[in-house]
A and B are shown apart, each in its own frame.
Chain A
Amino acid sequence: AAGVIQSPRHLIKEKRETATLKCYPIPRHDTVYWYQQGPGQDPQFLISFYEKMQSDKGSIPDRFSAQQFSDYHSELNMSSLELGDSALYFCASSNPWGSPDTQYFGPGTRLTVL
């Protein structure tokens, strides 16, 4: 079965640079979620989108922004990168017909900021 796709899988950036992470949800899933997992930490919710509108917001820094496009894929834009932004970034998706609570996670993008 198709899963959530994230790209790139690995990304290395310098401080103060920008990064864009992409997420392609499972087909027919209309909700995407972004989570950040720092080293040795549990995943922290950043933001979610439903039908291209922001549906919930967590601890997303002002330097980050995200959007969901008409094909339901989502992008997380990160600017003025800091060393502390080094983490695994997971995207998850869910659908309104199955269990709307169930979020399926992608393999993640590992961001390293040097």
Chain B
Amino acid sequence: RKEVEQDPGPFNVPEGATVAFNCTYSNSASQSFFWYRQDCRKEPKLLMSVYSSGNEDGRFTAQLNRASQYISLLIRDSKLSDSATYLCVVRDTGRRALTFGSGTRLQVQP
């Protein structure tokens, strides 16, 4: 079982739609949580860090539930440019390494 699990999708949504991605992690010692975005054949780019209190950045809202070991990302008013793979990422206590989920692919359609 992978340490970070995501639904691979693809999620095909029309422009303007709201879409939510979920992620679970298995290591209760995980300390830091992120959503990265990766376009095809390009490097992962940090979308946002995820905090226990939840955080919002424009159209993007991330939530963390430590008790359930569950992370979510909500994208409102989807744009064509949001089409990408969204990677759920955790960092374990005492480690420098990031552990990536397999990613959820989003395709926003006109």
Task: Determine if A106 is an interface residue (Cβ-Cβ < 8 Å).
Answer: yes
Residues of chain B within 8 A (CB-CB) of A101 are 32, 34, 49, 91
Nearest B residue to A47, CB-CB: B97
Pick from B41, B95, B96: contact of A31, CB under 8 Å: B96
Question: Contact: B97 with A56, CB < 8 Å?
Answer: yes
Pick from B34, B46, B101: contact of A42, CB under 8 Å: B101
Task: Determine if B1 is an interface residue (Cβ-Cβ < 8 Å).
Answer: no
Residues of chain B within 8 A (CB-CB) of A45 are 97-99
Interface residues on A, range: 20 to 34
Minimal beta-carbon separation of A88 from chain B (angstroms): 7
Pick from B32, B44, B101, B103: contact of A105, CB under 8 Å: B44
Residues of chain B within 8 A (CB-CB) of A24 are none
Question: Contact: A42 with B91, CB < 8 Å?
Answer: no
Question: Contact: B102 with A42, CB < 8 Å?
Answer: yes
Tell me the bound Cα distance from A99 to B42 in angstroms.
Answer: 23
| In the complex, number of A-B residue pairs with CB atoms less than 8 Å apart | 51
Residues of chain B within 8 A (CB-CB) of A90 are 43-44
Task: Determine if A108 is an interface residue (Cβ-Cβ < 8 Å).
Answer: yes
Further pairs besides A42-B101, A45-B97, A48-B96: 20, Cβ < 8 Å: A33-B97, A35-B98, A42-B87, A42-B100, A42-B103, A43-B87, A43-B98, A43-B100, A44-B100, A45-B98, A56-B97, A90-B44, A101-B34, A101-B49, A103-B46, A104-B46, A105-B43, A106-B43, A108-B42, A108-B43
Interface residues, chain A, with chain B CB atoms under 8 Å away? 31, 33, 35, 41-45, 48, 50, 55-56, 58, 88, 90, 92, 99, 101-108, 110
